[in-house]
Amino acid sequence: MQFTAWSMLLDFCIMSGLLFIAQMMRSKIKFLQNYYIPSSLVAGFLGLFGGPQFLNILPFSSQTGSYAYLLVCVLFAGIFLGKQEKFNLKETVHKVGDTFLINMSSEFMCFGLACLLGGILMKVFFPSVFTEIAILLPSGFMGGHGYAAAIGGTLNTLLNRTDGVVIGQTFATIGLLVGIFGGIICINYATRKRATKLIESIGSLPEECKTGMIPVEKRQTMGDETVHPMAMDPLAWHIGLILMTTGIGFAIYSFYKQYFPNIEVPLMCVAMLVGVFIQALLNKIGYGSYVDKRVIDRIGSGVTDYLVAFGVATIQVSVVLDFIGPILVLCIIGTGWPIILVFYVARKLFRNFWFERSIFIFGYITGVVAVGVTLLRIVDPEMKSGTLDDFGTAYTLQSIIELFLITMVPVFCVSIGVIPIGIILTAIAVGMLLLCKIKYGSYNLPMDALRPGEAEIIGKK
């Protein structure tokens, strides 16, 4: 059937219906509530089993599989829109230096071990498989469906393949499940060992966190109206900024590819840089305050829900089965490092609340930041540990480096080689951990021992 504008609209109508059903399921089914399964993931599985690969009752178009990469470009276009605060490197290093170094080293190690160990294992045990598949593991585990689509799309372009996004989405889906179920297992173990300082057992998060439905008295505003509706609807203003940024990014990408076809700068990276320029321009001419970062973030979160749902729904089972061996081997690597990080590395290096801080990292390097926040709220329901505040401060610099990893590491893996890049990234990660130990010290204490500053916060003497 010919693909038309109506085809795309119908695809999004169907997925919107599935997201609605998934949200209703989340509000009623205890299993989904107890394990905090995102509605977008449920909708994706409904789309997968209702789509052409199984029941074939949902009339998705033939282009549905391409939406994930398009949506991630839209997502990246809005990352820097609305940002007005100035970054202070010295203040960041002084306040959250250990958090930054441990967070950043965990990400470098995710990529480094995947490329190094994964690349070696692919060459030895799966010589017929393209070694660049290793980079898709951290793209899915650490970055979720968005980064998986981004790196998968880049590999498809560089290697002239069609399965990069599919494999990346598979890793992202597995990683999300590892983050949720694995994180809860880690929390149960830590509470038995009395490593959690702010709870004695897994308690209940607020009911709205489980059901996904917020009662009237707890609802908050999504943002401010920065333009008057008589001139232009505020939501249309913000959506328009994001889509304009995406469109300019695509135009620049298409233009330079005509003259430099062998040089690949991913479209999502170009769109992101255009967003930086547009926000800087708006700040310069005095219009920066008319872009509400909260509204931009909500739009981005909405895009992410559709991205995850379409990503899971369009996983090609035949492709997964073709690569099932490498996928399982790489997933073992992807699960092993976060566990080592929590119970050994972070336990020795974090100055206080080591488990609360490390379980947050576990969540976001296996799933996404939202999974990390969910796990953190289980062990720190009142957010006393300062984990989220420190992460937010450190992430200003961390996000810049992270985006470099996402956009350029795939290019270097193809041009230089997966294993050499793995060695470099692993060495950088080890160097960051050593720097953290030298500058901030290390601790060889029992799991349940109090650390500096904890007694004052939790009220223990």
pLDDT in tens, 258-293: 888 877 777 888 898 899 899 999 999 999 999 999
- Residue 456: what pLDDT? 85
User: Which DSSP helix (H) or strand (E) runs through 312?
Assistant: helix 293-313
- 317 pLDDT exceeds 50? yes
Secondary structure (DSSP) of 43-70: HHHHHHHHSTTTT--S---TTGGGHHHH
Secondary structure (DSSP) of 278-289: HHHHHHHTT-GG
pLDDT tens, position by position, 384-397: 888 888 887 787 77
- Residue 331: what pLDDT? 96
- 65 pLDDT exceeds 90? no
pLDDT tens, position by position, 122-138: 999 999 999 999 999 99
Band (1; pLDDT cuts 50, 70, 90): low
**Which contacts of 354-359 are long-range, i.e. CB under 8 A and separated by 24 or more positions?**
354/195, 354/443, 354/451, 355/190, 355/195, 355/196, 355/197, 355/379, 355/447, 356/196, 356/197, 356/198, 356/380, 356/385, 356/387, 357/99, 357/102, 357/385, 357/387, 357/390, 359/183, 359/186, 359/187, 359/190
Q: What sign for the dihedral angle of Cα 3, 8, 11, 17?
A: negative
**By mean pLDDT, which of 42-51, 105-114, 239-248, 404-413 is the weakest?**
404-413
Q: How far apart are CA 236 and CA 257, in angstroms?
A: 31
Question: How much is the mean pLDDT over the chain?
Answer: 91
How far is residue 430 CA from its own chain's centroid? 23
Quote the tokens at residue 188: 């149960």
pLDDT tens, position by position, 338-389: 999 999 999 999 988 999 999 999 998 998 788 888 899 889 888 888 888 8
pLDDT tens, position by position, 31-51: 999 888 999 999 999 999 999
- 330 pLDDT exceeds 60? yes
- Cβ(266)–Cβ(407) below 8 Å: yes
Map out the domains of the chain as residue ranges.
Answer: 39-203+230-440
pLDDT tens, position by position, 207-257: 888 899 999 999 989 999 999 999 999 999 999 999 999 999 999 999 988
Q: How far apart are CA 95 and CA 42, in angstroms?
A: 39
Residue count of the chain? 461
Stated pTM of the model: 0.84
- Residue 461: what pLDDT? 41
- Residue 12: what pLDDT? 97
Quote the tokens at residue 443: 């601790």
Angle between helices 293-313 and 164-177 in degrees, nearest 10: 110
Residues of the chain with pLDDT > 90: what percent?
Answer: 66
- Residue 53: what pLDDT? 93
